[in-house]
A and B are shown apart, each in its own frame.
Chain A
Amino acid sequence: MQVTSHVRAPLVTGGKKLHDVTEDICKQVEGKPTNLWYFAFGISVLALAYGSFCLYKTWTVGLGVWGLNRTVGWAWDITNFVWWVGIGHAGTLISAVLLLFRQKWRTSINRAAEAMTIFAVFCAGSFILMHMGRTWLANWALPLPNTYGSLWVNFNSPLVWDVFAISTYLSVSILFWYVGLIPDLATIRERATGISRKVYGILSFNWSGGAKDWQRYEQVSLILAGVSTPLVLSVHTIVSMDFATSVIPGWHTTIFPPYFVAGAIFSGFAMVLTLMLVTRKVFKLEDYVTITHIESMNKIITLTGSIVGVAYITEFFIAWYSGVEYEGYCFINRATGPYWWAYWSMMTCNVISPQLFWIRKIRRNIAATFVISIIVNIGMWFERFVIIVSSLHRDYLPSSWTMFYPTMYDIGDYIFSFGLFFTFFFLFAKFLPVINMAEVKSVLKSSSAKK
């Protein structure tokens, strides 16, 4: 029995019927791409092409094309890696955690968020491969049987944990996303003719829509939700351990795991918002992704942004309270040293800007949300940059202190990841339903607005 709440705002507006949902969402898949799509896709492919050239140079000439040096061994590479992994957090959170908590509003956004997760993890993975001096030996980081006898990976190393964490996360995310796609693919199959009917038929695993299919679908979704929920916490916890288990002042911090997870959700939601705001406009899905959705996400952004802000302040307090010379200097240097601008960019973007969402008008304003979502992601990029570069560039022995300056290849390889991400995203937006029709339909009765 469905009960329609009179208090809660409707999740789907415009008095959509079940058929309207199918029509609205399949329209994008079935119709010809719009000029806007061509334009956006073209730019993405260009970015990918330019980025690929830079990547080619990086791999053939050597990592020296980047601005790294003997003191700062990681900079944009790992900043980008952590940033993309962070962005990749929202998908699982929305799909898994919100599913378990029975948050119905997630249905409109989970598909795109999950796709975004997968593409973001691809980008993150590309930086794992990119940052290696000898990428062609990347398989050595996997615990595979080899011709060297008992030579295994070093299980003490957080980088090995990373390999496990990221690969698990990627496989579970892909699985979760694809399982969710099956009923929708079947819907498209039913409407399609000719070759696309065949393709979508194969992709939908011969979904029949029978009760047994739906039961298994629900079961698998629930199991996968259960499996992915710990991953939301574990992936960024492990990424944070790359830093937390080291001896470098500014890295060696026990606060990192929760702080990184909060930061990841923070940036992930911001990225979902950025993309969804564009998608709903372009694909005219305003009735599915409503202002209520946006507001809910903004609230999570404010929460996680505040957690991150508290973490920043805690770090400073502990650095002072510890009385450790190196730790104390590290944080003073962050705020007042040569990279002060990066630190204060981070503080402004991450701590101050999400607080604006306390104001109802702003958090329900689409333009403001869009701007702040981008600002948050800029801030989160700076957070990783500040942690990595400002800690490394002045660590223990002042004789080695130096600066890091990015080169065109640092920038180019970052552009590569954008090109990769958006190329995938636009292909996804064109060929697959960007909103989970099946799940939206399931909440339509209870939560949609009357016509």
Chain B
Amino acid sequence: MESTKTYWKGLEELNNHPEFIKNSIKEFPEFSSKELNVNSDSIAEEGSNRRDFLKFLGFSVAAASLAACETPVKKAIPYLIKPEDVDPTNANWYASSYVDGGDYASVVVKTREGRPIKIEGNKKSTVSAGATGVRAQASVLGLYDGSRLRSFQEKGAEISFEAADKKIISKLQEVVAAGKAIYVVTSTVCSPSLNAAISAFAAKYSAKVVAVDPVSAYGISKANELSFGSAFIPSYDFSKAKTIVSIGADFLGTWLSSSEYAKQYSKTRKISEKNPAMSKHFQFESIMSLAGANADYRTMIKPSQEGLVVSNLYNLVAGKLGAASISTTQLSDLPNLKLAAENLVKTKGYSLVVSGSNDPAVQILVNAINNLLASYGSTIDTSRKSNVKLGNDAAFAHFVSKVKDGSVGAVLFYNSNPVYASALGKELASSLSKVALKVSFSDRVDETSSLCDFITPDHHYLESWSDAEPKTGSYSLIQPTITPLFKARAAVESFTAWTGSPVDSYTYLTNFWKSNLFPKQSKYTSFQAFWDKSLYDGVFELPASSSTLSFSGDVSSAASAVSKRYKAKSEGFELVVYEKVGMGHGSNGLANNPWILEFPDPITKATWENYLTIPISLAKKLSIKMEFGNTQRVTLKANGVSLTVPVLVQPGQAPDTVGIAVGFGREKVGKAGNGLGVNAYPLISVANGFANYAISSGVEVSTTGETYKIAQTQTHQTIMGRDIVQESTLTEYKKNPAAGRYFPTIATADGVVPTTDLSMWKMRERTNHSWGMVIDLNACTGCGNCVVSCQAENNVPVVGKQEILNSREMHWIRIDRYYTSDMTHEKAEENKIGAIDMYRNMEDPSENPKVVFQPMMCQHCNNAPCETVCPVAATTHSSEGLNQMTYNRCIGTRYCANNCPYKVRRFNWFRYAENEVFNFNEDLDLGKMVLNPDVTVRARGVMEKCSLCVQRIQEGKLNAKKNNRRPVDGEIETACSQSCPSEAIVFGDMNDKDSKIYQLMEQEYNKRMYHVLEEINVRPNVSYLTKIRNTEA
């Protein structure tokens, strides 16, 4: 059309101003230079008016302040090419093995997005059979330890692999040329491939290999050498034992392969009405050990009596079996010894005697008793030798003397920290400078490696290829689950490099297996198939050889040695040096592991340090009353060493004895572990070449008057006569399967009814799942494995000693440990003792108390007191019976925690993650890698508690749903039930008639099964089975 209207946008367009025409073709017309041209130099010339000045001022202030607020850069780098086997949110599991100082566990490692985050037991192994120890559970955190070295070091400076190799090889050659000795000092190496590499290295440089364990079992292997002709440690099978006598061996806590034994032991402690057979366990010991706490009969002895207990037991057993007796000092009035002998003989062929002594004479007598009892071939297997502790104290002492006289030219420390963890540590440290070349494979600058010229850190086991042979014929693989975090190198690569034939660890391992193990089996024809299967399973077994050894020990000379060394009566204090269940020998990086450090000792419930355990009688003498962790420091003098240590009054500690744990007092291990407690290794004496963990003379304890606080997670020791743990004896149980049960009742208009018959609330129906848990108090040994497993699974923060002192530990599961008291309700009634005095006396444990353990976590009550009181409905009940916490909704009134009768709720008093005050693993980017991405890291001010591992339940349900089926029993396990070596915790769907939990509850309903605090009618989904003791009365 002609009359198309033109709408002009401004006078410029109407006037066709030339500048407008020029600008109109540009998409973004510029402002006129006069208006706002900040960059123009003309400003200065033209001068700016007040408005401009204000604009510039405003801009610069805003710009400057914006520049000051630096947004932290979080690097989340996506995969450019997705690795084939990594699916975000899907976990990958790899079989591997955890091996450290006697601790062996075949494990499966859970990795998420390429990060190992959880260790679980591998049920395919016939050795560990799915059991793990606390240290294995915590080992995953060790991978992310910030104190690990990030490169090879030469005298504190970084050095490349090549340069280090060159220097070390040339130095080694110099040493060889100078004719000086070369030593390789290791802890027990049970990797056959690494042993081969070390042997090759030793052959090339004619080096001597010395194995030494921080806590030695040399006495046992020596005794076996004298008894059977070869030095070894046999396989014990506690599951076959009907009578167990342990003299100072904490076989459930620290002795040899204890998690394996705990698993076997629990099999003999699980009873039912149909099969009420149960092992009878006698323990003779000085300290209160975990095994002692589980024993049916526990007798306190002094370490100086230990040998005589064995020799007297020998005579009692021999007397009954008509064998010749030995001449020895009589221990006639020792309680339970006769009973133990009777039972041993009664169950001949199914008996087992073990001793924790490192004295070969004692161990020979133990072997002799076992021989009389026909234990060999039944409870003891000499054909499958245990390889976890092969240290030789004498060889190590010889090495130290060689260092001292200057005849050692080079020493390589592999997985060994003898400067710290040896009685000879001080001597070694002072003369180590005489050695020309010192190399350590330590992953950190520790007490030994700091004195070395080179530190060539080995990989963490989760980063490396290796293998293990924990028992003859039982092989186990170690495979990397993450690319090495730091510039460390596998020890086998270092050894082969220095031998002159460098080879990477994978090739070395596969070659080793190809040439050594593949030919020994016949199932697979191709090596690849054999390898794949072994790697998948993590383990490989060769059929056991049937060669049995026959006992030929010299009993009478052992007996006379024992008689000479041990006394029935002795004056003065005696000291026992022991290992803690959590820390163990503590000579490596574990001593810097916050999970281990905060792990409450199963017996003392103390964390973060060691202490001197003293008997109640001594505490009275020194007038030390231990209340709420408040105690005193004393001076301990023994073996020429004087230490100032806090004391912990330990019920069950033998009179006139004191105990102290090794593994603490580290000076160079890392931020978390330095300076905690005292080093007890120097207290160990050496007797006839054997490390002696009991010091029987010259022990002095004197008060300093200094007060001190020990951080315990439980400060009240007794059960106060309450029916929280219901228990009975086997004799009673056989008569009445509900023996020891307490059935609370209430009087109503219709007569007396069980309290649980009444309720204000209507029970909701569970149409789908009904999750629950049954905990067998008879099987639970109290080891605390579940505590660390739960911590790893649920991102439970570490809070430090001060917060433990403030009773603010965060563990979602705890093991309540109660001692019996001399005072009971019955006794008070009998003796007409008033309630006030009765309760006061009930607070004091007996001198030698019976002990019970009770795992305690959220009971997931159906009438949950916490749920009704939350003002914002942040804690609610799921349709599947779970008491669930909605962290986002929580406003932190803590009413739920107050109203929880079990006190299992944990409040975030501070921000525990990314807070430099709590500078444990969650403060570091490295340490945070261990966090389970399926579980929220809780914010400050919210409540948290056990969720029955809801993330695992959800995962299991989803997996089942994807396959269009119902979850199968056993498919879903909580972290605690999964990690329980004794399978005391049974988790499952109570609606599923095929489930283990359903059947167990069906079988034990109104018998052994009970709920804690049944009378308050909260109806928990967690049930307990009564504890049954195999005692006569």
Binding site for B on A (CB under 8 A): 61-64, 67-74, 131-135, 137-138, 140-141, 151-154, 156-160, 163, 242, 245-248, 325-326, 328-329, 332-333, 336, 392, 394-403
Contacts and interface: CB of A to CB of B under 8 A. Distances in A.
A248 B898 contact: yes
Contact of B807 (A131, A245, A248, A402): A402
Contacts of B872: 140-141, 153-154
A141 B722 contact: no
A119 B889 CA distance: 31
A132 B892 contact: yes
Contact of A158 (B719, B869, B897, B942): B869
A399 B716 contact: yes
B38 interface: no
9 contacts: A62-B940, A64-B803, A70-B809, A134-B939, A134-B942, A141-B891, A246-B865, A246-B898, A325-B722
Contacts, number: 173
B941 interface: yes
Contact of B890 (A62, A70, A134, A154): A134
B941 A134 contact: yes
Interface in B886-916: 889-895, 897-899, 901-903, 905-911
B814 interface: yes
Contact of B893 (A64, A151, A159, A336): A159
Given A248-B898, A329-B720, A400 B873 contact: no
Given A133-B942, A246-B869, A397-B816, A70 B720 contact: no
Interface string B364-384: 000000000000000000000
B873 A248 contact: no
A401 B942 contact: no
Given A133-B907, A141-B891, A397-B724, A157 B941 contact: no
A63 B943 CA distance: 12
Contacts of A242: 895
B893 A132 contact: yes
A247 B871 contact: no
B715 interface: yes
Nearest to A388: B898
Q: Considering residues B816, B854, B894, which has the most beta carbons from chain A within 10 angstroms of its beta carbon?
A: B894
A398 B891 contact: no
A74 B894 contact: yes
Interface of B: 628, 714-716, 718-722, 724, 803, 806-809, 814, 816-818, 835-836, 839-840, 854, 856, 865, 868-873, 889-895, 897-899, 901-903, 905-911, 939-943, 1012-1013, 1016, 1018
A170 B972 CA distance: 52
B716 A401 contact: yes
Given A154-B872, A400-B903, A133 B720 contact: no
Nearest to A335: B836
B871 A403 contact: no
Q: Is the interface of A mostly helix, strand, loop or mixed?
A: loop
Nearest to B906: A70
Given A157-B869, A399-B814, A61 B893 contact: no
B776 to A, nearest CB: 19
B807 A71 contact: yes
Contact of A329 (B839, B868, B871, B898): B839
Contacts of B722: 325-326, 396, 398
B809 A392 contact: no
Contacts of B939: 134
A61 B910 contact: yes
B870 A62 contact: no
Contacts of A151: 873, 889
A69 B806 contact: yes
A156 B942 contact: no
A138 B835 CA distance: 45
A318 B872 CA distance: 33
B686 to A, nearest CB: 41
A90 to B, nearest CB: 27
Q: Which of A326, A329, A402 has the most CB of B within 10 A?
A: A402
Contacts of B715: 401-402
A333 B892 contact: no
A71 B903 contact: yes
A247 B902 contact: no
A153 B872 CA distance: 5
A242 B906 CA distance: 20
Given A133-B907, A154-B871, A401-B716, A73 B818 contact: no
B892 A134 contact: yes
A131 B891 CA distance: 10
Contacts of B940: 62, 133-134
Contact of A403 (B628, B840, B890): B628
Nearest to B628: A403
